[in-house]
Amino acid sequence: MKVVIVGSTGYSGIELVRLCEQHPHIEIGALISTSAGGETLGEVYPHLSHVHDSLSEWSLDLIASSGEVVFFATPAGVSSQWVPRLAERGLICIDLSGDFRLTDPGEYRSWYGREPAEPRYLEQAVYGLSEWNREAIREASVVANPGCYPTAALTGLLPLLAENVIDPGTVVIDAKSGVSGAGRSAKVPLLFAEVNENVRPYKVDGHQHIPEIELGCRRFAGVDLRVSFTPHLIPMSRGICCTVYAALTGGVTTDDIQALYREHYDEAPFVRLRGPGQWPQTKDVTGSNFCDIGFHVDERTGRVVVLSVIDNLMKGASGQALQNLNIRMGWPETAGLTGSPVYP
């Protein structure tokens, strides 16, 4: 099957190129690039020179005629304009940006500061948190791929919320991200000297992933809640670690939590659970589509601490996008995604 990647020279775009090249059922139909259309892929990225020849200028007709699937790996505000037109022409659209993740146009406007996509497309888009929405993804024509922080946070949090073992009013999410999470465009706060030997909290007064996390809790656990969420930028290239704190409801034990995670993720090839006392680290998942989860029941405070780690460009973006295409096409969920993490 031929796929088209839009925004192909961005970080999640080239991660998709790398993954598509290894996929048994996918061929790259076209790589669209606004900044490098007309150049070869090897001129921009020598490490990918063997994968595909040319980068193409933006053209709706070229996208529509070059593949059956289009991935948008573009900043917010781009796909909202183009996905409806491509979906109408019969393409399966998988959008990595936030443009189709929130169903309420007003909420998108207030958190992203932009005009939302047409409401009927917001309603029609299927939220691509793979492990929690497989049935809908199988039928989707537009998949809204989740944000990186919501993927890590919801994968750790949802089983606890769905089984009513935590008090929803007490959920606090502390998250750290590597710098590739901010994309490839040049910005002073992302310079080496600004990031190196530094831990920087940011958007403490409101991050755009807060409504997405809260909507995920409503969608998949049926729980209406308000979360506290604080992201931090840390000096590494890839990886997200979400540490989630919540008060336990009475009498919940380590064994109970271990059992409920096992039950929820029994058939999830990319979610790996740690035993008690084993804490996952970002290096355990680097370069892979895994989400590793560990937890600690703190009897002293009555709280549970959940640790959820992902590679932001893989499970947090391009890896999950491909996992969603696998689900959509009825291919094995792990097709093209079987690579082990890179360590050290």
Ligand X SMILES: NC(=O)C1=CN([C@@H]2O[C@H](COP(=O)(O)OP(=O)(O)OC[C@H]3O[C@@H](n4cnc5c(N)ncnc54)[C@H](OP(=O)(O)O)[C@@H]3O)[C@@H](O)[C@H]2O)C=CC1
Ligand Y SMILES: CC(=O)N[C@@H](CCC(=O)OP(=O)(O)O)C(=O)O
Active site residues: 148
Q: Kindly identify the residues of this chain, within the stretch 134-163, that bind ligand Y according to CB under 6 A.
A: 147-148
Strands annotated E in the chain: 2-6, 27-32, 69-72, 92-95, 126-127, 142-144, 172-177, 200-201, 228-233, 240-247, 271-273, 291-298, 303-310
Which burial class, exposed, middle or buried, applies to 266 when counting CB atoms under 10 A from its CB (0-12, 13-18, 19+)?
Answer: exposed
Cβ(257)–Cβ(165) below 8 Å: yes
- Binding ligand Y by CB under 6 A: which of 74, 103, 177, 289? 177
Q: Of residues 4, 26, 30, 78, which one binds ligand X by CB under 6 A?
A: 78
Here the tokens at position 272 are: 């790996």
The one among 62, 76, 260, 305 contacting ligand Y by CB under 6 A: 76
Closest residue to ligand X, Cβ-based? 10
Contact between 308 and ligand X per CB under 6 A:
no
211 binds, among ligand Y, ligand X, none (CB under 5 to 8 A by kind): none
Closest by CA to 320, choosing from 7, 16, 9, 98, is 16
Cα–Cα distance, 235 to 237 (Å, whole number): 7
Binding mask 179-218 for ligand X (x = CB under 6 A): -xx-xxx---------------------------------
Pick from 17, 33, 179, 297 the residue near ligand X by CB under 6 A.
33
Indicate whether 97 belongs to the interface with ligand X (CB under 6 A).
yes
Q: Which of the ranges 32-40, 104-112, 257-265, 291-299 carries the binding residues for ligand X, by CB under 6 A?
A: 32-40
Closest of 34, 138, 16 to residue 78, by C-alpha: 34
**Using CB distances below 5 to 8 A depending on partner kind, what does residue 208 bind out of ligand Y, ligand X, none?**
ligand Y
Q: Which span sits near ligand Y by CB under 6 A: 43-51, 177-185, 244-252, 297-305?
A: 177-185
Cβ proximity to ligand X: between 100 and 295 the closer is 100
CA–CA gap between residue 72 and residue 79 (Å, rounded): 6
Cα separation of 300 and 319, whole Å?
A: 38
Q: In what order do the strands lie in the sheet with 271-273?
A: 200-201, 228-233, 172-177, 240-247, 303-310, 291-298, 271-273
103 forms part of the interface with ligand Y (CB under 6 A): no
Q: How far is the CB of 108 from ligand Y (least distance, A)?
A: 10
Length in residues, the chain: 344
Which of 148, 124, 91 is CA-nearest to residue 318?
148
Q: Which residues bind ligand X (CB under 6 A)?
A: 7-13, 33-36, 73-76, 78, 96-97, 147-148, 180-181, 183-185, 312-313, 316-317
Q: Which residues bind ligand Y (CB under 6 A)?
A: 76, 97-98, 147-148, 177, 181-182, 208-209, 231, 233
